[in-house]
Amino acid sequence: MATSTTGLEAIDVTAPPTQPPGPSLIYQWLTTVDHKKIGLMYIVYALLFLVVAGIEAMIMRVQLAVPNNHAVSPQVFNQLFTMHGTTMIFFVAVPVLFGFGNYLIPLMIGARDMAFPRLNAFSFWISAFGGLLLYLSYFAGSGLYGAGAAPDVGWFAYAPLTAKVFSPGHSSDYWTLSVLLSGIGTTGTAINIVATAFCMRCKGMTLMRMPLLVWLFVVASCMVFAAVSPLTAAQIMLCLDRYLGSHFFDTQAGGSAVLWMHFFWIFGHPEVYILILPTFAFVNEIIPVFSRKAIFGYPAMVAASVAIGFVSLSVWAHHMFTIGLGPAGNTFFVFATMVVSVPTGIKMFNWLATIWGGKVIYRVPMLFCVGFLFQFLIAGLTGIMLSAAPFDWQLSASYFVVAHFHYVIVGGILFSLFGAFYYWYPKVTGRMMSETLGKWHFWMFVIGFHLTFDFMHIPGLLGMPRRIYTYEAGRGWELWNIIIGIGAIIQGVATLIFVYNLIYSYFRGPEAGPDPWDAWTLEWSTTSPPPDYNFAIEPSVSSARPLWDLKHPEDQDSRYE
Amino acid sequence: MMQTNTIPIAIDEQPWVLPNKGIVGMWCLIAAEAAIFLIFVTAYLFYLGKSLTGPTPAQVLELPIVGTICLLSSSITVHMAVAALRKGNIRGCTLGLGGTVALASAFLVTTAQEWHHLIYDFGLTIRTNLFGTTYYSLVGLHATHVIVGLLLLIAAFFFSLSGRVTEHHAERLEVLSLYWHFVDAVWVVVFLVVYVIGR
């Protein structure tokens, strides 16, 4: 065992000097099929787009801060909310989560790499190309003559707004093609994740010993097959409409605008769960480690995740109550939507039960997870309010809805994601992130988040519609919009602290060692950062917490299985 | 507090067997592709009889019996190729693959003839009406999958012909045959939807 380890390390040490530094480094990253490098590229690329889409959000808040403002033109405002939404979903949330999945899944199941390394690289580059293509529209969207124009049809691009007649030039082409490419990349990575989890597990790691993170990524990936493919199909139809003159969504020729809505939301709602399940996955790993207890109810967590996956495929039309689905349709989608909260509630109680009676350590990752629990609960509650069709008729397309889904995406997904950054950063870089800066980041983000999104519900209740470019004074919306704007600035500053912390800690952070959190899953058994080959010897496990077994030979988990 | 690389090596009780990653990956791809086809089939059924102008399916479509027989029997030949390869019968494998390539090409020829007939004799294009839109996109999407499969089969056929295929490749060929069976199964659905229900 020791000899083979030194053998591999020796190869590792002697290899680099044979290649010149500089261009070869870029070449290495461009041509890599290593899951860790691809995962990191996913994450860095998503962070860059996070900053871009965040700036777009800031400009919108500046425009809406006071009534009758003309900071940007109405056309630019339409482009801003379209680009903000499209970027955040397709080029921030999906890549950053799949980046974590790419990095962590092989390490957690004791594998050398993903099942299909080259497919992995292909998926990353096709998604990255999609993101660049989307932003190329700023320079080339109207064709080659004159200035470019970004897409301005909203992130769900309702028909017939995207028809050639209503969307001349090429801005909508950029939207549909970049989303199509992102969908192909997402499907490729999802195939890879499922195949990796089922076919690459190390000895002894049965499915019910897999870390919950891997389980949740598997469920999310299976949802990708059922949910992202309809979007891909709908984008193919839209391309056919725009390029070949077919009539799928052409209302003049009998085509149906409502069909696009169905196809889009068959993707759109499960997509929320595709994003939230990986963040549940992070919470599943972080909460037990910082509560010093094994996760409560592992089988129930797996079952609840699979149940969420199934039920969430039949809730999409709750985005469409206002188009008139009829009583049968309304009833079905109201109940289906409400049923999703049952497995989600099971998860919530399992996390609470994990914390209950544990020795809770409030380091930064745990702080973000606690923030996640509170905020995701509130987001879920406004979700249940909106799932009641009559309530939705009143508030659909108002700022209440905007507040609700930002509560899910920022308060839930982003908080748990930040926790994941602080938790796995030492593994990726070998250095700890600054705890002080992390706490500043956390508290400022919490304050900014609540200022923005708590108060955003109120103008919604007062009737402020989403996507309006400006508004008149005297409707009672002014104060709330000012507060929302201030909160947005605080969140922006907090994010800058986070980015600074990422860079600063890379050079100055204290050495982390292989296992800084005294954790239990396999990724902490290798060095930080892990070597190219991950594990010198294929690990072998006999319980769901292999490192616990190793550290506590007198009280192994495997005894209780 | 602990050293790296201390995870113990397995003390082997039973062999650790995991499913083949190619097969699992292909099943995943099939799931994703099936969802794409489902959306196109839904659109086809949703727009049945909603065309504002002619021609209608009943006026122009004929049952593609020959093409269907060719495509469905190609599933049998590709299965024979895999079965032969498993037993180490390279000749049988080459024959099976050659038969599959021929049958798939025959299917594509019948589709091309049908499209030529529709376009030049009835003036039905993707722009004509909703029937044209949904018909060409659904059948075209399926034909695209046939072409992709055909290219892979041709590659496998030439590898087999040049003697580079051995018994060890049986599982890889099985991945391809799985895809091919899926393409055939989709054709059964397309046949029922377009030529039976929709006519």
Q: What is the DSSP string of B37-86?
A: HHHHHHHHHHTTT--SSS--HHHH----HHHHHHHHHHHHHHHHHHHHHH
Across the range B16-31, mean pLDDT stands at: 95
* Signed CA dihedral, A27, A29, A30, A35: sign only: positive
User: Within A462-541, where are the H helices?
Assistant: 478-508
CB contact set of A183 (below 8 Å; sequence gap of 6+): A228, A229, A231, A232, A235
Longest dimension (CA), chain B: 81
- State how far the Cα of A512 lies from the Cα of A516, in Å rounded to an integer: 6
**Between the CA of residue A24 and those of A17, A27, A113, A125, what are the distances in Å?**
12, 5, 22, 19
CB-based contact (8 Å) between A187 and chain B? yes
- State how far the Cα of B90 lies from the Cα of A167, in Å rounded to an integer: 57
> Is residue A21 a part of any domain in this protein?
no
CA angle in degrees (0–180, nearest 5) for B158-B161-B164: 85
- State how far the Cα of B46 lies from the Cα of B41, in Å rounded to an integer: 8
Across the range A175-204, mean pLDDT stands at: 96
- Model pLDDT for residues A243-274, shown as the tens digit of each residue: 999 999 998 899 999 999 999 999 999 999 99
Q: What is the DSSP string of A304-334?
A: HHHHHHHHGGG-GGGG-GGG--HHHHHHHHH
- A551 burial via Cβ count (<10 Å: 0-12, 13-18, 19+): middle
pLDDT given at position A23: 65
User: Would you call the peptide bond into A67 cis, given omega within 30 degrees of 0 as the criterion?
Assistant: no
Q: Residue A557 pLDDT > 90, yes or no? A: no
> Is residue A432 a part of any domain in this protein?
yes
- Residue pair A433/A501 in contact (Cβ under 8 Å)? The answer is yes
Domain, as residue range, for A130: 35-549
pLDDT given at position B7: 58
**Interchain pair A551, B1: CB under 8 A:** yes
User: Which A residues in the span 456-515 are in contact with B, Cβ-Cβ below 8 Å?
Assistant: 514-515
| CA-CA-CA-CA dihedral for A125, A198, A211, A376, to nearest 10 | 60
- Residue pair A521/A547 in contact (Cβ under 8 Å)? The answer is yes
- State how far the Cα of A251 lies from the Cα of A159, in Å rounded to an integer: 9
Q: Residue A4 pLDDT > 50, yes or no? A: no
- Model pLDDT for residues A261-308, shown as the tens digit of each residue: 999 999 999 999 999 999 999 999 999 999 999 999 999 999 999 999
Q: For position B129, which CATH number holds?
A: 1.20.120.80
**Interchain pair A226, B35: CB under 8 A:** yes
Question: Which chain A residue shows the shortest CA-CA distance from B38?
Answer: A230
> Is residue B122 a part of any domain in this protein?
yes
> Is residue B51 a part of any domain in this protein?
no
- State how far the Cα of A557 lies from the Cα of A9, in Å rounded to an integer: 31
Q: Residue B131 pLDDT > 60, yes or no? A: yes
Neighboring chain A residues of B47 at a CB cutoff of 8 Å: 254-256
pLDDT given at position A144: 55
Domain, as residue range, for B104: 66-197
Neighboring chain A residues of B8 at a CB cutoff of 8 Å: 540, 550
> Is residue B181 a part of any domain in this protein?
yes
> Is residue A217 a part of any domain in this protein?
yes
ipTM above 0.90, yes or no: yes
Neighboring chain A residues of B4 at a CB cutoff of 8 Å: 514, 525-527
> Is residue B18 a part of any domain in this protein?
no
- State how far the Cα of A266 lies from the Cα of A250, in Å rounded to an integer: 20
CB-based contact (8 Å) between A391 and chain B? no
> Is residue A246 a part of any domain in this protein?
yes
- Residue pair A163/A250 in contact (Cβ under 8 Å)? The answer is yes
> Is residue B54 a part of any domain in this protein?
no
Q: Suggest the residue from A198, A202, A214, A545 to mutate for an interface test with chain B (most B CBs closer than 10 A).
A: A198
- State how far the Cα of A457 lies from the Cα of A385, in Å rounded to an integer: 12
Q: For position A467, which CATH number holds?
A: 1.20.210.10
User: Within chain B, where are the H helices?
Assistant: 21-46, 57-60, 65-86, 90-122, 130-161, 170-190
- Model pLDDT for residues A476-493, shown as the tens digit of each residue: 999 999 999 999 999 999
pLDDT given at position B199: 86
Phi, psi (degrees; rounded to nearest 5) at B134: -75, -35
> Is residue B115 a part of any domain in this protein?
yes
CB-based contact (8 Å) between B144 and chain A? no
- Model pLDDT for residues A505-531, shown as the tens digit of each residue: 999 999 999 999 999 999 999 999 999
Q: Which of A198, A156, A358 has the alpha carbon at shortest distance from B18?
A: A198
pLDDT given at position A473: 92
**Domain total of chain A:** 1
**Between the CA of residue A500 and those of A454, A503, B122, what are the distances in Å?**
27, 5, 66
- Residue pair A404/A475 in contact (Cβ under 8 Å)? The answer is no
Q: How far is B4 from chain A (nearest CA, A)?
A: 5
Q: How far is A200 from chain B (nearest CA, A)?
A: 7
Question: Which chain B residue shows the shortest CA-CA distance from A229?
Answer: B36
Across the range A197-205, mean pLDDT stands at: 94
pLDDT given at position A13: 47
Q: Residue A394 pLDDT > 70, yes or no? A: yes
> Is residue A20 a part of any domain in this protein?
no
Question: Which chain A residue shows the shortest CA-CA distance from B131?
Answer: A247
Across the range A182-198, mean pLDDT stands at: 97
State if pTM tops 0.95: no
Q: Which residue has the higher pLDDT, A254 or A10?
A: A254
**Interchain pair B133, A247: CB under 8 A:** yes
Neighboring chain A residues of B18 at a CB cutoff of 8 Å: 198-201
Across the range A393-419, mean pLDDT stands at: 95
- Residue pair A414/A467 in contact (Cβ under 8 Å)? The answer is no
- State how far the Cα of A250 lies from the Cα of A177, in Å rounded to an integer: 19
pLDDT given at position A186: 96
pLDDT given at position A21: 55
- Model pLDDT for residues B136-182, shown as the tens digit of each residue: 999 999 999 999 999 999 999 999 999 899 989 999 999 999 999 99
pLDDT given at position A10: 42
CB contact set of B116 (below 8 Å; sequence gap of 6+): none
Across the range A140-146, mean pLDDT stands at: 65
- Residue pair A137/A177 in contact (Cβ under 8 Å)? The answer is no
**Interchain pair B126, A230: CB under 8 A:** no
Q: How far is A240 from chain B (nearest CA, A)?
A: 8
CB contact set of A218 (below 8 Å; sequence gap of 6+): A193, A194, A197, A198
- Model pLDDT for residues A202-213, shown as the tens digit of each residue: 999 999 999 999
Across the range A59-79, mean pLDDT stands at: 93
CB-based contact (8 Å) between A204 and chain B? yes
pLDDT given at position A24: 82
Q: How far is B174 from chain A (nearest CA, A)?
A: 16
pLDDT given at position A8: 45
**Interchain pair A514, B38: CB under 8 A:** no
**Between the CA of residue A22 and those of A40, A350, A529, B164, what are the distances in Å?**
19, 49, 21, 40
**Interchain pair A514, B2: CB under 8 A:** yes
**Domain total of chain B:** 1
Averaged pLDDT score across all residues of chain A = 92
Q: Residue B190 pLDDT > 60, yes or no? A: yes
